[in-house]
Amino acid sequence: MAALFVFFDHLPATRAFSERYSLGPLAVAFFFLLSGFILMLNYREHFVRGVTWNSTRLFYLARLGRVYPLHLVTTVTAIVAIIAYGESPHNEYGNIWLGLSAGDHAIKIAAAVLLFQPWAYSPLVILGVNPPAWSIADEAFFYTMFPILAWYASRVCRPFNSVVVLSFAAFFCVFTGIVLCLGSAVPWIIAYYFPPLRIFEFFVGILLALAFVKRAGNEVRFGTSLEMIAVVVFVCSVAVLPLVPRALRYAVWMMPASSLIISIFAHRAGALSRWLSQSTFVLLGEISFAFYLLHAIVIGAISSVFGDGLPQSVFSFVVTLAASYALYRCVEVPARRWIRGRGSNGARVAGPAFEFVRSSMIGRQRSAEPESRSGRPSPYN
């Protein structure tokens, strides 16, 4: 769903509606939160006693295999598409390739390949190749910090649910205060893209995972009702976004509703979550990372060649979906298996959190597997 929101944000036919309700930014904030949640479910036992070299190495290899091969392929694809069709006419900064020197192009490409885009104080670098990839660069920073954050959260917050709740509240207040105090003073390009300012959302996801683990074995009553309430709260929060100050709109305002959705749906105790666990939705979740990285390239190429309109929008969606499935099967899965196989030396690397969540709902906690048999809940982890 988050990837679809970003698709609507970049699609010319839905751009005005998406901008009014901030669908793209709220989707990015949601997946930062979800990323911390899922990674903590998978790797909490690896770092609860400390940050060791072996655990950290296996974690970094798993993240590298999950993200980088597909990122590299889509970066090359974006460069080829720009050369062949020109840049998307709907880029908010205009055509940021024309009029630049060869050195400027080299810097932009190097930053994209190395996932360094959001550290540059320039939209020409941040959005210069494949614009959605800036959030993957933020995630790379989160991954770098995760072993320390997971150890700290496990040692300080794990024993008591109350501590988890208080920690969540404290970080929410701190983050709100930072945004309120600095929102008008800090340039937008820093406040929105800079990784150290977005890691708060990621850490809140880690805390939510600890709270979930504490009550994962308990029976959840009225699961369907709770899921419907969570959806209503989320929709209502989105509906009033145009009235929310910009400084709070993209992360702080939606954090409680997003946290509620994640916490309730993770239990899979209601009809909505069971419906979303069907094989069709699992497959869509599996290819959604490729969809996220490809969609802007496809939209830009189709808009440049065929123009804008409803038929072109539908065509963009179909092409992106088909190409995403092909990349998932031909690039993402083989590359991930190869990288993990080369680095694990027989050690078990934590697999997708979906397996932990599913097993905990039926009262059985199994060891995480190198490859899930049933799917992954998030395209970004």
Whose CA is closest to 342, among 144, 57, 73, 140? 57
Percent of the chain clearing pLDDT 70 (strictly above): 77
φ/ψ of 222, rounded to 5, equals 60, 45
**What does the pLDDT read at residue 358?**
38
List CB contacts of 188: < 8 A, sequence separation 6 or more. none
**What does the pLDDT read at residue 213?**
83
Give mean pLDDT, residues 143-172.
Answer: 74
Distances from the Cα of 243 to the Cαs of 19, 238, 318, 321, 361, in angstroms? 13, 10, 34, 34, 38
**What does the pLDDT read at residue 303?**
85
219: region left, alpha or beta (phi > 0 left; psi from -120 to 50 alpha): beta
Using CB atoms within 10 Å of the CB of residue 158, give its burial: 0 to 12 exposed, 13 to 18 middle, 19+ buried.
middle
- For the cut 70, the answer to whether the pLDDT of residue 125 exceeds it is yes
Tokens for 299?
Answer: 């939209």
- pTM as predicted: 0.82
Look up residue 222 and give its DSSP letter.
S
Decide if 208 contacts 43 (C-beta within 8 A). no
Compute the distance between CA of residue 44 and CA of residue 29 in angstroms, rounded to an integer: 22
Decide if 114 contacts 123 (C-beta within 8 A). no
Q: To which residue do tokens 């509606």 refer? A: 17
- For the cut 90, the answer to whether the pLDDT of residue 322 exceeds it is yes
Higher pLDDT, 301 or 180: 301
Residue ranges in 130-160 assigned as alpha helix (H):
134-157
Compute the distance between CA of residue 28 and CA of residue 132 in angstroms, rounded to an integer: 10
Q: How many helices (H) and strands (E) does the chain have?
A: 18, 0
Please write the tens of the pLDDT for every residue from 66-100.
Answer: 899 999 999 999 988 888 776 654 455 445 555 56
3-state helix, strand, coil in the chain (%, to 5): 75, 0, 25
**What does the pLDDT read at residue 4?**
84
What is the rounded average pLDDT for all residues in the chain?
79
Decide if 345 contacts 371 (C-beta within 8 A). no
Higher pLDDT, 40 or 339: 40
User: For the ranges 223-237, 239-253, 306-320, which has the lowest average pLDDT?
Assistant: 239-253
Compute the distance between CA of residue 260 and CA of residue 256 in angstroms, rounded to an integer: 6
Compute the distance between CA of residue 323 and CA of residue 319 in angstroms, rounded to an integer: 6
CA torsion angle 121 122 127 132 (round to 10): 20
- Cα Dmax for the chain: 62
Please write the tens of the pLDDT for every residue from 187-245.
Answer: 777 778 889 888 988 998 998 888 888 776 667 778 889 999 999 999 999 999 999 87
Cα–Cα–Cα angle for 12, 16, 21, nearest 5°? 125
Report the 10 Å Cβ neighbour count for 339.
18
